[in-house]
Amino acid sequence: MKPLQRKLWRELLHLKGQMLAVAAVVACGISVFVSMSSVKYSLEASRQRYYSRFRFADVFVEVKRAPEFYREMVSRIPGVASVSTRIIADVTLDVPGLDEPATARLVSIPEYRTPVLNDIFLKKGRYIEPGKPEEVIVSKPFLEANHLAPGDHISAVINGRKKELLIVGMGLSPEYIYEVQPGSFFPDKRRFGVFWMSRRALESAMNMSGAFNNMSLTLAHGASEKDVIMQLDNLFRRYGSLGAFGRSEQLSDRFIVDEIKQVGIQITFLPVVFLAVAVFLLNVVLRRIVATQRDQIAVLKAMGYSNEDVGLHYLGFALIPTAVGSVAGTLLGAWLGRGLMNIYGDFYNFAELVYYFRFEDVALSVLLSFGAAVFGALGAVRKAVQLPPAEAMRPESPAIYKPGFFDRESLRSKIPVSLRIIVRNLERRRWKAALSVLMISLAVAILVAGRFTYDSTERMVQVEFNEKHREDVTVLFNNPMPPSVAYAIASLDGVLEHEYYREESVKMGFGHRSRRQSIRGMQSSEGLQRLVDKNNRQLILPPDGVVLTNTLADILGVRVGERLQVDFLQGKQLHREVVVSGTIDEILGLSAYMNLAALNRLAGDGGALNAAYLRIDQAKAGNLYTTFKKMPGVAGIMMLKAMKESFDELIAQSMTTSTLILTTFACVLAFAVVYNGARISLSERARELSSLRVLGMTEAEVSVILLGEQALLTILAIPLGFLIGIGLSWLLAKGLSSELYRLPLVFSAYNFLFAFSVIIIVSALSGLLVRRKLVTLDLVEVLKTRE
Amino acid sequence: MSSSSTSSSDSHHHPAQVASDNPVLNISELSKSYVMGEVQVDALKSVSVKFYAGELVVLLGASGSGKSTLINIIGGLDVPSSGKLFFHGREITAATEAELTAYRRRSIGFVFQFYNLISSLTALENVQLVTEIAESPMSAKEALLLVGLGHRLDHFPAQLSGGEQQRVAIARAIAKRPELLLCDEPTGALDFQTGKLVLDVIEKVNRELGTTTLVITHNASIAGMADRVVRLRSGEIVEDRKNPERLSPSELVW
């Protein structure tokens, strides 16, 4: 090794604390970038692969019942590549070990295995055998959540008749990557599953021979989805179609696409922060190195080392920690990415969720980091290169201090000398001090933003599971029921309170904009179900008109007081107008609410009910559930408590993980900035501080001067960090919001307290580390060193 | 100005040099002023002087007399405000940055008051810094043997005494076999005994290698070891005399 290289290595080793801090910041940035981009790519690639391998359809139509020959007709529509028809029905299940009924979505498949659209990936077991109508293939999450396996039996109530089903296979489908019960946002693996069953068996059980109620099709390359959908709507309107829709409205796909988009947002935001801090740290550290090595630079130049030699040597101080950080970050990123993919694997049911760790991502992030390193080091390196050797030989001229703000007569006497030293130091290098404050505040901001998503989710749970809903169970009817069903339900033993709603599918239009949407007719907004916005404010439903969620109103471009066009898609299919009587900023989804009576009037019929909210006597719950399992009109029940539990289980895990990662990274950031700051000020002022010790100051007094500066910077950084954190959260909330959900902007006091405590602890720790160095300073030696 | 051979029977004395009009260094009307803080300093005022091959010259002057500035310009570390400097007839004052680097690399050896060793490198490695980039250097070990530090090769500067550090610095300066050895207050930070030891080494190098040597000092007692003494005051040469005979550093007293 050449002597100059040896010098570099030894000095890097000597400065290991600071260099590790730089490397750690780089590693954090790279690991976030690498893991997030590989996750994004892996999700996208897995989705694409899954879709094309199992022929996921492009367009979907749901009808009440349409004759099979329409398949032929549709296949002749220009732009349609292939068509398949199915029978799909939601039925109740009696799951062993589960009191309440679960819901199965029965999906028909050909008796003989042939390639179809939305095909099944058979994970375990076998395909159904022809002539055995009891055989079913069941979705993996449901089987696993209920500890069932191929070979087990399960009974279902199909069209009012109890049937014993034999599970023969465990399957997955691109249609249900996100497997969630219709009308729900969160998966409840125990109580909802997809069952694939022979078409013949379903035809006979549902009285659907020669007919279908679900059609899916793929489009030819270059075909217009919009045109095909229009033709399908014309064809199937009379068969009770609620309108054909493309993948973008397919629930499962929408969740995945949203997720991928969100990962993309995180790729941009965190690494940028880390790179910025790395640039700052390298700049400060290198400037200090060059300043302390002025005489060495001079000597190297005097010996005949060229400017390039010297420049490269000092650039090495930036490049090597960056290289160390890059390697560590890449490894950490690969590991984190794999971990994140596992979490996604719990959420999303891919046939195979392949984790692609891409060289391109690593290369790009490493390249960016080195770019940042060079950028950060440039000023200092240029200084080393341009330093005229003769001038370098002389010690740096003493820093110039001028009376500052705190030196006004009125203030001076009130400020102790040690504080005056601190303040003058900061005043002298305002920019550096300001940047230090900014960097520490970025760490605070990341903590705040990380905690914000947590708070936001808490709020979501509170609003969705506590405030909006007070029922114990929702009973979903498989067909609209006459209002008289209320009497039947009220008479059931154990029902304490009951309330109903009607759900009508309509096409809403305003001006040239329109959208398929359902209107929920509520009996009351003050009973079991209430209207609560994302800020936890309750809204009373007006007796007339329709209340839209803000996002829906924005999509339609309609404002309160304006009249909305409403086309009912079922029943009498009336065209009506209704006044928008209010808007509500809800957390989840797009909704429209009306008073039940008003909706009944608008629909022009005697009224109908789609579901009941019940509060029940828990002591009699078992009997009630048994009754529901047998009731032919019941498609399924949803239990608030169970949904909350499964939400907690799923979300809490990923939330805890991401909060932990962010907290760790923010700590690294804060530590790196504060520790480096203190180390540098120790190196700059060792002589001065030793002189003060020699003059009789105690260790503690000297520590105050040294660490007081960092403490002051940290204290200034905290409120600024809160502000930046709030801004960052706002951006995050905006970026992560979609039609599916909006993150409410909430900050608990705990959030700020947490960020505050973390920063104080981290700062105190790095202060202590530096103080140890201060205490071990050899007074005489320091005074002897020339600088 | 001309120089003549100063032969003597003195055993310390190096082989007689030839009087010639081909000086190693020819300095003509060199001036240098710079601004320090808020003060303008005229460090050199139109200095003209020549140095010849093999000479050991002591540049004497008080602090601020301009001697360091002069030696820095001679060594290609600094550029004058006006005037010319020729090294073997080549104008150094007209050299580019790259040429200056090559000049320092090839022809100049520096010794500083504060040794300026790289603290993270051992004695041997500090010397290797030079042998690494020089054209036909002696080995680093050889150079350290020459200054009497053969037993301290792997010690770090912090493990060496001041005198030893300065000898490492001398070894580092001479390892490349420079034509000019420039020593800026080489004993300034050393006590009397150690200082003499260091001067001994410098004298030995001058004698054995024939290296033209300029020693800057404010200590008039050192002048006795020189062939020639040039005295500076306030940026001007006020005296330029030859010593009738060179004293051995061990004979010096201060």
User: CB distance from A261 to chain B under 8 Å?
Assistant: no
This model of the complex carries an ipTM of 0.77
The percent of residues above 90 in pLDDT, for chain B, comes to: 48
**Band (A486; pLDDT cuts 50, 70, 90):** confident
Residues 6+ apart with CB under 8 A from A664: none
Query: Kind and range of the H or E element at A637?
Result: strand A634-639
The predicted-structure confidence for A661-699, as pLDDT tens digits, reads as follows 888 888 888 889 888 888 888 888 777 777 777 777 777
For residue B71, the chain A residue with the least C-alpha distance is A390
The neighbouring-strand residues paired with A163 are A156
CA distance A391 to A297: 10
CB contact under 8 A, B77 and A2: no
CB A244 within 8 A of CB A235: no
Which residue in A7, A390, A397 is closest to B118 by CB distance?
A7
pLDDT at A682: 84
User: CB distance from A503 to chain B under 8 Å?
Assistant: no
CA distance A436 to A676: 10
Residues of A in contact with B97 (CB under 8 A): 307
Sorted by where each begins, the domain ranges of chain B are 53-79+105-251
Token pair for B37 = 């803080």
Residues of B in contact with A6 (CB under 8 A): 120-121, 125
Residues 6+ apart with CB under 8 A from A85: A68, A70, A71, A212, A214, A215
Which residue in A7, A11, A303 is closest to B104 by CB distance?
A303
- Backbone φ, ψ for residue A513 (5° rounding): -95, 145
The predicted-structure confidence for A304-361, as pLDDT tens digits, reads as follows 898 999 999 999 999 999 999 999 999 999 999 998 888 888 888 998 888 888 889 8
CA distance A203 to A472: 34
For the cut 80, the answer to whether the pLDDT of residue B12 exceeds it is: no
CB contact under 8 A, B120 and A306: no
The predicted-structure confidence for A267-282, as pLDDT tens digits, reads as follows 877 888 888 889 999 9
For the cut 90, the answer to whether the pLDDT of residue B252 exceeds it is: no
Residues of A in contact with B129 (CB under 8 A): 3-4, 7, 300, 303
Would you tell me which residues 150-189 of chain B have a C-beta closer than 8 angstroms to some C-beta of chain A? Answer: 172, 176
DSSP state of A154: E
Look-up of token digits 């007569």: A409
User: CB distance from B37 to chain A under 8 Å?
Assistant: yes
For the cut 50, the answer to whether the pLDDT of residue A787 exceeds it is: no
- Backbone φ, ψ for residue A453 (5° rounding): -60, -35
CB contact under 8 A, B114 and A306: no
> Does residue A244 sit in helix, strand or coil?
coil
User: CB distance from A356 to chain B under 8 Å?
Assistant: no
Residues of A in contact with B102 (CB under 8 A): 304
Q: Which residue has the higher pLDDT, A741 or A40?
A: A40
Q: What is the arithmetic mean of pLDDT over A437-463?
A: 89
User: CB distance from B95 to chain A under 8 Å?
Assistant: no
CB B206 within 8 A of CB B189: no
Distance from the A24 Cα atom to the nearest Cα atom in chain B, whole angstroms: 24
For residue B109, the chain A residue with the least C-alpha distance is A303
CB pairs under 8 A between A and B: 87
CB contact under 8 A, A302 and B108: yes
CB contact under 8 A, B77 and A302: yes
CB contact under 8 A, B125 and A6: yes
Q: What is the arithmetic mean of pLDDT over A552-557?
A: 94
Residues 6+ apart with CB under 8 A from A586: A531, A532, A533, A534, A549, A550, A742
CB contact under 8 A, B77 and A4: no
Distance from the A705 Cα atom to the nearest Cα atom in chain B, whole angstroms: 28
Q: What is the arithmetic mean of pLDDT over A596-610?
A: 91
Q: Which residue has the higher pLDDT, B169 or B18?
A: B169
CA distance B116 to A435: 34
Ranges A318-332, B107-121, B158-172, B195-209: which has the least confidence: B107-121
Sorted by where each begins, the domain ranges of chain A are 56-254, 429-467+643-787, 468-642
CB contact under 8 A, A303 and B75: no
The predicted-structure confidence for B69-111, as pLDDT tens digits, reads as follows 899 899 888 889 999 999 999 999 998 888 888 898 889 998 8
Token pair for A24 = 């750690």
| Domain B53-79+105-251 in CATH 3.40.640.10 | no
Residues 6+ apart with CB under 8 A from A144: A189
User: CB distance from A786 to chain B under 8 Å?
Assistant: yes
CB contact under 8 A, B132 and A302: no
